[in-house]
Each structure stands twice: as structure tokens, then as C-alpha cells.
Chains A and B, each alone.
Chain A
Amino acid sequence: MTYKQRIDNRGFDETRPIEAKVGVIPRADGSAYFKIGNTVAFAAVYGPRNLHPKFLQDPTKGILRCNYNMMPFSSSGERVRPGGSRRSKEISLVTVKALLPVLDLQEYPNSVVDVFIELPQTEAGSRCAGICAASMALADAGLLMKDLVAAVSVGRVDDKIVVDLDYNEESYPGVPVADIPIAMMPSSGKVTLLQMDGEVTKEMLMEALEKGKKALMDIYEVQRKALKEKYHGVDE
């Protein structure tokens, strides 16, 4: 048996519906909202600002800190205990690595740029949604950037490569499944985040990366449009 039709009738290369907006948190220096399917991410950027304690400071450049957090009511199962888990710590770490390549923090020695990612509602793909929101929030904060970062999860369900796995596909019973979150700088096509869990052949992985790249170009367009939207009505 093969996986012939996606559970929600999407095409195999098709993401769930996406919404994006910037400037959603007035108190932050930059902020964004990114929704893909039923997964919702908010990101707020504070900084560059003074970094305490002092021993963390780097006199040659500013540093980037990210914190990924699921709100207590964001899972369709039991309440998520607040305070961070091993999983959320790891996601925070790979999010920093996914975003750093587009930033130039040379101009901000001894400073920090803080990115707080909050997930009020999740249904698969939350780290990628968080990265999409974070990169938009950094741009909204007016930081010098080489590019945006777009992210999506590509997966394998049985013999098919599918873009933007949803919860039912992540846990599809009885067939081999793999989940491959990818983040990319769209202009250069370089990969800034790659993780995988599950089972794939190298050929399948290469196909996943190619399909992911296509989907990421579409996500990039949504991100750009949201950033431009904020200045709608302002003369170019």
C-alpha cells in the first residue's frame, strides 16, 4: 500500500494555509505572527540592548539569544508544564543557529538581541513556524540582515515525500515516517537548519530538500509581503 492521498486532501508539495503579519506586539522593538495550518507562532525582538551578566558579553560583536516556548494550553493533549523542557532548550539552540547566518552583529559589541518565540497553539511544525516568525521580527526591528530565513518541515510518509507534515502524518500508523525540518536563506539557497528523525534513504532526503526549497520560496514571498504590508500607503 502506498500513501496516495493526503489526509486533508492537500497536494504532496502543498503547505497548509499560511498567514503572516509584523508589528503585532507594540512594546517590542520588532515582532511578527506566523500561522501555518493550526500552528501559531509569535516572535518578539528586544535589542540590541545591554547584556547582563557582564561575563556573557562579547567585546567583538553582539550576541543573539532565542527562546522557544509552548504556552501551557498550546497542545491538544494535556497541559504543557511551563518553564521549558529539554526539547524546548534544543529548539531554542537550533533556532539561534538557523538565524545567525543572516545577521551582522559586528556593530553591537557587548550587546544582545533577544528573540522570544511563543506558541499559543500548535499542531506540528512549530519550530519552523517559530523561525519564520523570528526572522520577520528581526527584520521588523530594523536589524541589518543579508536575507530572511524561511523554514518548513518536509517529511516522508511511506513512499511519498510530503511538504509541511501535519500531526496526523507525523504519527501515521503502520508505515515508515520521517520528519525533516529545514530552514533556508531563500536568496542563496543555503541551509541554516536541518534536523531529521525517522527513516529515509539518501535519495529521499535529496528529494525532500529540493521539494522543501520550492515550498520555502513561497513562504519567503508571504514573509516579504507581510513586511511590506506594514508600510502600505507609505510612498516608496
Chain B
Amino acid sequence: MMHAQLRSHIIRLLNTDMRLDGRKLTEYRQPITVEYGAIRTAEGSARVKIGETEVLVGIKVEIGEPYPDNPDEGTIIVGAELLPLSNPDFELGPPSIQAVELARVVDRGIRESKAVNFKKLCIKAGEKVWLILIDICPMNDAGNLFDAASLAALAALKDARFPAVENDKIDYKKKTDQKLPLERYPLAITVCKIGDKFIVDPDTEEEKAIDARLTVASTEDGHLCALQKGEDFPLTINEISQMIDIGMEKAKELRKFL
């Protein structure tokens, strides 16, 4: 629930190109940091901070059976839990609808851009493939979990190394120096509409005032790979066009932190 006065204050400020914390409309909070290999027990990991928002992503790999329709491909599985440690409004229990949306948006950005070459995750066609299990854990949710999670997931994929395999079994204690087949760098940027204005990287207060949002995932060669429109208000085609431009521009900026 949003306090009506706070909302009108945010909108008044936005109309003068200002935000509550003094940022410009399409400016991210600072500092933005990416820490690789934050977790020793994971095969790959990254801790990303955007301002006070902090997200931890860890990757475990397992050997499993391929899907019958893609017998020579491994796959990724993205999970997210909105830990009640990270936000007073999050509750314990099975993944909420918000957690599922977060996981699926990050999943689609990676999957649809073909960032991970699934064919190279095949060990024996029809029998054994690598499964890449990517888990998103927010540590402090001060707004914009989507973009922080997307950046952290990509950084963790970059950090990951296969463990050793002996007699078809994984020896998790032994890491190899073999990287995952990561061939593109898709990043998701969420552009938010409040009143008539577009902003990126909303903080906790701004998030409550958002009318509509569009998460735009794009690769370094300028291709769109996933979109997700959220919140209650509709968008015109012209607005969508502007939001995509902002999203692709900002993806270039964030990619530099990798």
C-alpha cells in the first residue's frame, strides 16, 4: 500500500527530473559491485550490490537425464526465494508468486539468448547431461531485485567451474579449471513508469509507486532476448519503444561491471 501523499510527492519530483534520493531518472544507485566466488561450497557464485540492495547467486551442477525432446542438451534451472531475512514484508513458506516471476524472468534472459550452449552440456546423448542449478538469494532488498539478480546470475555463470567426474560420479571436492560454455552476456534492465516518467533502479519507496514496469533483457550484440511487463497499468506502443531504448542503453552500462 502506498501513501497517496508520498506518491504525489514522488511524481512532483519526477516532473522536475529529480528523485527522492537526488538521482537522475535513469541513474543507478552507487556503488555497484560484483564479487566473484563469494561462496566456496558452490561451483560458481557472485554477490552483487546495487546501492543497498544485495543479492547472492550460487550455482551447483549435477548430472541428470536430458529431456526426451532434446536428448543431446543439458539445461539450466533457475530458482529464487524471497528470503524473509532480506525484507520485512517477505514471509516464510513456499516460493511466492513474486519469487517465481523473478526466477522465470532471469531464466528466460539466459535461456532465450542461448547464453549457455546447452549442446555443450551433453555428456552422453539420451542418457547423461549437465544440469546447471542457479539459485537467487536476496540478502537485502532495498529495491530492484530483478536487475541485481540478473547481473548476479550472469556473474555466477562466469565464475563457475565444472567439478571433477570419476566413474560417472561428481567429486564436488575437486574443482577443475573448466568453465561453463557461456557464449553471450544477457542482462535484464527493468524500466519503470511512474506517472508520465520512466525511471530505472527504483528504491523501496519508488517501487510502491510504480504504475507499470518492463523488464528488457538484451545481449551485448544488441538483441532483445526476453521481455516481461509487470504491474497494473497498460503501456502504449510508443512507451514500450522508449522503455526498450532505455533498457538496452542501461544494459551496456551495467555490463561493464562484469
Contacts and interface: CB of A to CB of B under 8 A. Distances in A.
Interface of A: 25-28, 38, 42-44, 46, 49, 67, 69, 71-79, 82-83, 114, 116-118, 120-123
Contacts of A122: 41
B21 to A, nearest CB: 14
A80 to B, nearest CB: 9
B39 A76 contact: no
Interface of B: 38-42, 45, 52, 56, 58-60, 62, 79, 81, 83-88, 92, 94-95, 133, 135, 137, 139-142, 172-173, 204
A78 B41 CA distance: 10
Given A25-B86, A27-B88, A71-B56, A77 B94 contact: no
Contacts of A26: 52, 140, 142
A116 B84 contact: yes
Given A27-B86, A42-B85, A114-B84, A73 B59 contact: yes
A43 B83 CA distance: 11
A72 B135 contact: yes
Given A46-B88, A116-B85, A79 B139 contact: no
A79 B84 CA distance: 21
Given A42-B85, A122-B41, 13 more contacts: A25-B85, A25-B140, A26-B52, A27-B88, A28-B88, A38-B40, A46-B88, A71-B137, A73-B42, A73-B45, A73-B135, A79-B133, A121-B40
Contacts of A116: 83-85
A77 B43 CA distance: 10
B42 A44 contact: no
A182 to B, nearest CB: 25
B61 to A, nearest CB: 9
Contacts of A120: 38-39, 56, 58, 137
A76 B88 contact: no
A78 B42 CA distance: 9
A71 B140 CA distance: 15
Contacts of B140: 25-28
Contacts of B39: 73-74, 120-121
A76 B45 contact: no
Contacts of A42: 85, 139
14 contacts: A25-B140, A26-B140, A27-B140, A28-B85, A71-B58, A71-B135, A72-B60, A72-B135, A73-B60, A76-B173, A79-B135, A82-B135, A118-B83, A120-B39
Contact of A72 (B38, B58, B86): B58
B86 A44 contact: yes
Across the A-B interface, give the 4 residue pairs with the lowest CB-CB distance, nearest first: A73-B58, A116-B85, A73-B42, A44-B85
Nearest to B135: A72
Contacts of B45: 73
Interface of B is mostly: loop
Contacts of A71: 56, 58, 135, 137
Nearest to A77: B172
Contacts of A49: 88
Contacts of B172: 76-78
A46 B42 CA distance: 29
B118 to A, nearest CB: 19
A64 B68 CA distance: 49
A106 B256 CA distance: 53
A46 B86 CA distance: 10
Contact of B79 (A43, A72, A75): A72
Contacts of A121: 39-42
B157 to A, nearest CB: 13
B148 to A, nearest CB: 14
Contacts of A44: 84-86
A82 B60 CA distance: 13
A68 B168 CA distance: 34
Contacts of A76: 40-41, 172-173
B135 A75 contact: no
A79 B60 contact: yes
B42 A82 contact: no
Contacts of B56: 71, 120
Contact of B137 (A38, A75, A118): A118
Nearest to B170: A78
